[in-house]
């Protein structure tokens, strides 16, 4: 998820360029920004070009021209305009930020980093530039630096959802699940339709084993973006995990109360087997023989798992335990299988 903050549209702010800006150029700059904001690029360009007739070295207007070119997909032209803006005003922070944006899209991360840093040198409170710098650090593999910039940004402006989301994603990748959830929850509180943040939050809940919460997060993701394929695919998976987790929680309660039995654990193991949940099946067999060490069927179930996984020493032990407690009349085929297996081993 890489959702850049909007590139800043400039209005008249007392430009530092020299010679002094003509009043008509200031007026044209403001109108140009308004037209860009409404998506009317033709009128915006007319106003920018008119303003440049009054003040050809007015850097803010060259930034506006660059934004118009970017909106039209004319990246090389946009780059030329931003560079020209900096030639006329080396403290034009928006030009540095927008030029850095172009370099980032070109995967020229070193140049992107330098331009975002220059923008912040002009204005340390420039939220767009700091966020874009954090993304650049992240893609450069400098996660600690990325986290530092994102935390600084949340301190500067805690009303932006994107920094919290990016910070949460980095923390999720690092396994810091509690902190990741905290930041991702903050992101979706600020922007309830932030689908990618909901996706990451759902993934964090899955890692925590909070499957019901994950279902809610993925569902909220789809509400924000009905075509979000990952969330749609993850909902049934989380629902299945939640359904399995509910009886598992009940099992834990029953175990604590001493209410579980070996037979119940064996039944659950077979249900897990039918669902293809091999790890859960093994754990149920282990609980079964813990409750009742002489429960032969569970020993044979463990043998089947261990033998299939080529865990020969464990399979050998499980078979010996099975034969110790099994009645041949009750398990004729299983007894034959285990006897044949033990005869083929050298342990």
Q: pTM, whole model, 2 decimals?
A: 0.67
For each of the domains in the chain, give its residue range(s) and CATH number, in order of start.
Answer: 1-120 (1.25.40.10), 158-259 (1.25.40.10), 261-344 (1.25.40.10)
Going residue by residue through the chain, which has 347 residues, state the pLDDT in tens, using 9 for 90 and above. 455 544 544 443 434 445 799 999 999 999 999 999 999 999 999 999 999 999 999 999 999 999 999 999 999 999 999 999 999 999 999 999 999 999 999 999 999 999 999 999 999 999 999 999 999 999 999 999 999 999 999 999 999 999 999 999 999 999 999 999 999 999 999 999 999 999 999 999 999 888 889 999 999 999 999 999 999 999 998 888 887 765 555 554 555 445 578 888 888 888 888 878 888 899 989 999 988 999 999 999 999 999 988 899 999 999 999 999 988 788 889 999 999 999 887 65
CB 222 within 8 A of CB 231: yes
In angstroms, the CA 56 to CA 28 distance is 12
For 140: left if phi > 0, alpha if psi spans -120 to 50, otherwise beta; the answer is: alpha
Range list of H helices, the chain:
23-38, 41-54, 59-71, 75-88, 93-105, 109-122, 127-139, 143-156, 161-173, 177-190, 195-208, 211-224, 229-256, 262-274, 278-291, 296-308, 312-325, 332-344
Pick from 151, 223, 215, 236: nearest CA to 194: 223
CB 326 within 8 A of CB 334: yes
CB 231 within 8 A of CB 202: yes
């Amino acid at each position: 998820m890489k959702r850049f903050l909007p590139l800043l549209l400039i209005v008249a702010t007392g430009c530092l360029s020299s010679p002094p800006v003509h009043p008509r150029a200031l007026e044209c700059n403001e109108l140009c920004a308004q037209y860009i904001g409404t998506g009317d690029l033709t009128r915006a360009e007319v106003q920018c070009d008119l303003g440049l007739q009054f003040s050809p070295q007015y850097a803010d207007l060259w930034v506006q021209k660059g934004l118009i070119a970017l909106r039209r997909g004319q990246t090389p032209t946009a780059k030329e305009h931003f560079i020209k803006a900096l030639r006329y005003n080396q403290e034009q922070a928006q030009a540095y930020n927008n030029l850095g944006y172009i370099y980032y899209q070109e995967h020229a991360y070193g140049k992107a980093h330098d331009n975002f840093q220059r923008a912040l040198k002009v204005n340390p409170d420039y939220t767009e530039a700091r966020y874009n710098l954090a993304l650049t650090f992240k893609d450069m593999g400098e996660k600690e630096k990325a986290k530092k910039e994102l935390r600084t940004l949340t301190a500067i402006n805690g009303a932006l959802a994107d920094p919290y989301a990016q910070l949460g994603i980095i923390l999720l990748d690092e396994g810091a699940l509690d902190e990741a959830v905290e930041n991702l929850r903050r992101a979706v509180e600020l922007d309830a339709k932030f689908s990618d943040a909901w996706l990451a939050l759902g993934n964090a809940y899955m890692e925590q084993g909070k499957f019901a919460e994950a279902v809610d997060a993925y569902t909220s993701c789809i509400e924000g973006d009905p075509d979000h394929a990952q969330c749609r695919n993850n909902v049934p998976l989380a629902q299945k995990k939640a359904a399995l987790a509910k009886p598992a929680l009940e099992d834990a309660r029953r175990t604590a109360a001493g209410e579980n039995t070996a037979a119940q654990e064996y039944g659950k193991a077979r249900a897990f087997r039918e669902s293809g949940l091999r790890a859960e099946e093994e754990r149920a067999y282990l609980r079964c023989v813990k409750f009742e060490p002489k429960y032969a069927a569970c020993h044979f179930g463990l043998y089947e798992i261990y033998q299939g996984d080529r865990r020969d020493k464990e399979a050998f032990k499980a078979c010996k335990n099975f034969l110790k407690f099994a009645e041949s009349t009750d398990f004729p085929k299983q007894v034959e299988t285990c006897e044949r297996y033990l005869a083929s081993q050298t342990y």
